[in-house]
C-alpha cells in the first residue's frame, strides 16, 4: 500500500514538472531573429548572401527589382536549408523511461537532444547528401507574427503552384516526361529516407536512436534519467547507440570519438573498413563504411577563449562539418552556423507532445524548426563536441587536410583545439578507458573583441 502511494506521488510530481516545463519552454520560438544584409551567413558548410553583389556598384546594370529577386532567392534558400535540418526537442507524455516515472525529458535532456540533432544531420548527409531539402520546409508555421520573409515565401510557393496548375501542351516531348518521372522517384526516395531517419529518433523504447536507448547507454557512464549530460558524455553515448543499432540501414555507418582531443588517423581509417564484431553479418559493408567523427574539446577555462572564435567559424564553414554540441552553461544547443560574431543554433528547449513514429504517416512538422536563433560567441560554453562526417578514407584525408589549416597555431593561439596523430591510439599507451572530460590547457589571456555594427537587417 505504501509503495502504491509513493508511485502515485511520483506520478503527480512528474505531471506537475511536465506542466511547469511546458509553460517554461513554450515561449522560446516567439522571439525574432535578425540577420545582417551586409555579411555572409554560413550554415553547415554552405554560404548565403542576403545582399545583391552589385547593390553598391553605381555602374551595375541590374535593376532594383532584379537585386530584390536575388536577395529574396538567397534568403529563401537559407530558410529552406535551415528548416530541412531535423529538429529534436523536449517531448512530454512518452512511455516512461526505465527505472523512473519520467515521461518527459524537459529540464534535463537538452544535451542528448542536441546530440540527436547532430547525429540526424550526419544520417541525412549519409543517405540524401548535403543538397537535399525537405519539400515542405517553407510551409512551416512560425509562432511569430507574419514577417517579410514568410510572406515572400508563401508568395513564391503560391506562384510556383499556379505555374504547375497550367494546362499542358497536347504534344509532350517523351524525354522531359521520363526525366520528370525520374525526378519524382528521387523525391519519393528522399522522403522515404527522411521519414525513416526521423523515426529512428522517436521517443519510444523501440526507436533505434531515441531518448530511451540513449538513457540506457548513459548508464555505463554513471548517468541516469533526469541527470544532466555533458557534450563529451553525449559523444560516447551516440557511439554506443549507433554501434548497437540493429536496423540494416545503419550497418554502413559507425562513430569514432577522439581521445583526449586527439584524432588517431589509423583508428579512423580502420573504422572505415573494420569488421563489426557486434554485427558480423555486416561484412558486405566492410571496407565501405562511413564514419562520424566526434571530437570533444574545451575552448577555454570558465569562458570560451575569444582566440578560438575564428577556429569555430572555420569549422562551421567546412562542408564535412555536421555541427557542434555546445551551448551555454547547463543549457545545450546545437550550433549549425554563424554570421559575424553570433552563432546560429537549433534550440531543443521547446516542449512538444509525444509523436508516435511507428505509424507510416506520422506528422513531420514538429521535427523541423521554422525559426533560426542566434547567440553571441562570447556566451558560448567552452565545453563542446565538434562533429564531422567522412564517407570514405578519401574523404577523411580531405577532412584532415582542411582541418590542418583551421587548426594551425597562430601567434596568439598557441594551443590547437585538437590534433591529428598518425597511427593508433594504442600505439601511444592509451590503454585506459577514453576520457570523457579533459582539463584546460594553459590558455593565454585575450582581449575582448569589438561588437559588430548593426547595418541593414533581414528578419527571418
pLDDT band at 221 (very low <50, low <70, confident <90, very high): confident
Q: Give the integer Cα–Cα distance in Å for 392 and 375.
A: 34
pLDDT band at 189 (very low <50, low <70, confident <90, very high): confident
Residue 74 has pLDDT above 60, yes or no: yes
How far CA 61 is from CA of 58, 64, 70, 74, 115, in Å, comes to 8, 10, 14, 20, 48
Residue 342 has pLDDT above 90, yes or no: yes
Q: Which three cell numbers stand for residue 413?
A: 593561439
Q: Which three cell numbers stand for residue 297?
A: 574539446
Enumerate the active-site residues: 110, 347, 349
Q: Which three cell numbers stand for residue 442?
A: 594553459
How far CA 118 is from CA of 196, 270, 388, 419, in Å, comes to 16, 23, 9, 21
pLDDT band at 254 (very low <50, low <70, confident <90, very high): very high
Residue 168 has pLDDT above 80, yes or no: no
Mean pLDDT of the 76-80 span: 94
Note whether 120 and 379 are within 8 A (CB).
no
Q: Give the integer Cα–Cα distance in Å for 150 and 141.
A: 9
Count CB-CB contacts under 10 A for residue 63. Answer: 9
Q: Which three cell numbers stand for residue 25?
A: 519552454
At 364-375, the pLDDT tens digits run 999 999 889 999
Residues near 418 by beta carbon (within 8 Å), at least 6 away in sequence: 258, 261, 262, 263, 295, 297, 386, 407
Find residue 294's DSSP bridge partners: 257, 387
- CB-neighbour burial class of residue 426 (10 A; exposed 0-12, middle 13-18, buried 19+): exposed
Report the pLDDT value the prediction gives residue 212, as an integer from 0 to 100: 97
At 224-235, the pLDDT tens digits run 999 999 999 999
At 33-72, the pLDDT tens digits run 889 999 999 999 999 998 765 444 444 444 455 555 666 7
Mean pLDDT of the 115-130 span: 97
Q: SS3 sequence, the chain?
A: CHHHHHHHHHHHHHHHHHHHHHHHCCCHHHCCCEEECCCCEEECCEEECCCCCCCCCCCCCCCHHHHHHHHHHHHHHHHHHHHHCECCCCEECCCCCCCCCCCECCCCCHHHHHHHHHHHHHHHHHHHCCCCCCCCHHHCCCCCCCCHHHHHHHHHHHHHHHHHCCCCCCCCCHHHHHHHHHHHHHHHHHHHHHHHHHHHCCCCCCCCCCHHHHHHHHHHHCCCCCCCCCHHHHHHHHHHHHHCCCCHHHCCEEEEECECCEEEHHHHHHHHHCCCCCCHHHHHHCCCCEEEEEEEEECECCCECHHHHHHHHHHHCCCCEEEEEEEECCEEEEEEEEECCEEEEECCCCCEECCCCCCCCCCCHHHECCCCEEEEHHHCCCEEEEEEEECCHHHHHHHHHHHHHHCCCCCCCCCCCCEEECCCHHHHCCCCCCCCCCCCCCCCCCCCCCCCCCCCEEEC
Count CB-CB contacts under 10 A for residue 281. Answer: 9
Report the pLDDT value the prediction gives residue 173, as an integer from 0 to 100: 55
Report the pLDDT value the prediction gives residue 459, as an integer from 0 to 100: 44
Residue 242 has pLDDT above 80, yes or no: yes
Mean pLDDT of the 381-393 span: 96
Mean pLDDT of the 357-363 span: 93
Residues near 113 by beta carbon (within 8 Å), at least 6 away in sequence: 88, 89, 90, 105, 332, 334, 348
At 389-445, the pLDDT tens digits run 999 999 999 999 999 999 876 656 578 899 999 999 887 765 455 444 443 333 333
Report the pLDDT value the prediction gives residue 24, as an integer from 0 to 100: 56
Mean pLDDT of the 345-360 span: 95
Angle at 459 between CA 456 and CA 460, to 5 degrees: 140
Note whether 268 and 390 are within 8 A (CB).
yes
Mean pLDDT of the 296-303 span: 92
Mean pLDDT rounded to a whole number for the chain: 79
Q: Give the integer Cα–Cα distance in Å for 224 and 194.
A: 30
**Percent residues over pLDDT 90 in the chain:** 58
Q: Give the integer Cα–Cα distance in Å for 374 and 106.
A: 22
Q: Which three cell numbers stand for residue 288?
A: 565501405
Report the pLDDT value the prediction gives residue 239, as an integer from 0 to 100: 97
Note whether 343 and 375 are within 8 A (CB).
yes
Amino acid at each position: 500500500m505504501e509503495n502504491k502511494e509513493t508511485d502515485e506521488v511520483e506520478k503527480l510530481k512528474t505531471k506537475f514538472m511536465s506542466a511547469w516545463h511546458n509553460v517554461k519552454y513554450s515561449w522560446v520560438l516567439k522571439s525574432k531573429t535578425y540577420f545582417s544584409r551586409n555579411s555572409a551567413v554560413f550554415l553547415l558548410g554552405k554560404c548565403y548572401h542576403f545582399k545583391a553583389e552589385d547593390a553598391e556598384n553605381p555602374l551595375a546594370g541590374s535593376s532594383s527589382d532584379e537585386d530584390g529577386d536575388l536577395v529574396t532567392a538567397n534568403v529563401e534558400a537559407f530558410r529552406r536549408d535551415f528548416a530541412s535540418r531535423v529538429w529534436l526537442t523536449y517531448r512530454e507524455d512518452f512511455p516512461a523511461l526505465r527505472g523512473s516515472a519520467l515521461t518527459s525529458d524537459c529540464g534535463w535532456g537538452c544535451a542528448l537532444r542536441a546530440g540527436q540533432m547532430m547525429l540526424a544531420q550526419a544520417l541525412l548527409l549519409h543517405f540524401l547528401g548535403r543538397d537535399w531539402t525537405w519539400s515542405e520546409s517553407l510551409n512551416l508555421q512560425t509562432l511569430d507574427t507574419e514577417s517579410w520573409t514568410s510572406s515572400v515565401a508563401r508568395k513564391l510557393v503560391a506562384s510556383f503552384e499556379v505555374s504547375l496548375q497550367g494546362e499542358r501542351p497536347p504534344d509532350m516531348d517523351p524525354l522531359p516526361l521520363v526525366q520528370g518521372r525520374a525526378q519524382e522517384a528521387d523525391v519519393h526516395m528522399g522522403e522515404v529516407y527522411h521519414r525513416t531517419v526521423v523515426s529512428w529518433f522517436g521517443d519510444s523504447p523501440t526507436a533505434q536512436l531515441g531518448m530511451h536507448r540513449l538513457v540506457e547507454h548513459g548508464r555505463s557512464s554513471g548517468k541516469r534519467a533526469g541527470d544532466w549530460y555533458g557534450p563529451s558524455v553525449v559523444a560516447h553515448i551516440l557511439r554506443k547507440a549507433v554501434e548497437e543499432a540493429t536496423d540494416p540501414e545503419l550497418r554502413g555507418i559507425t562513430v569514432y570519438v577522439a581521445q583526449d582531443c586527439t584524432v588517431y588517423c589509423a583508428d579512423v581509417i580502420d573504422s572505415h573498413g573494420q569488421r563489426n564484431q557486434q554485427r558480423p553479418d555486416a561484412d558486405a559493408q566492410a571496407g565501405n563504411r562511413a564514419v562520424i567523427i566526434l571530437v570533444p574539446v574545451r575552448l577555454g577555462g570558465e569562458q570560451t577563449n575569444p582566440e578560438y572564435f575564428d577556429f569555430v567559424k572555420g569549422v562551421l564553414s567546412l562542408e564535412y562539418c555536421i555541427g557542434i554540441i555546445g551551448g551555454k552553461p547547463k543549457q545545450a544547443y546545437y550550433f549549425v552556423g554563424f554570421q559575424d560574431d553570433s552563432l546560429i543554433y537549433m534550440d531543443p528547449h521547446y516542449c512538444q507532445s509525444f509523436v508516435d513514429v511507428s505509424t507510416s504517416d506520422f506528422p513531420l512538422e514538429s521535427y523541423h524548426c521554422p525559426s533560426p536563433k542566434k547567440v553571441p560567441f562570447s556566451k558560448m560554453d567552452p565545453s563542446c563536441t565538434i562533429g564531422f562526417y567522412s564517407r570514405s578514407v578519401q574523404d577523411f584525408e580531405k577532412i584532415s587536410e582542411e582541418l590542418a589549416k583551421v587548426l594551425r597555431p597562430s601567434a596568439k593561439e598557441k594551443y590547437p583545439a585538437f590534433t591529428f596523430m598518425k597511427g593508433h591510439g594504442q600505439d601511444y599507451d592509451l590503454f585506459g578507458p577514453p576520457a570523457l572530460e579533459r582539463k584546460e590547457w594553459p590558455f593565454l589571456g585575450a582581449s575582448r573583441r569589438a561588437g559588430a555594427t548593426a547595418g541593414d537587417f533581414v528578419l527571418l
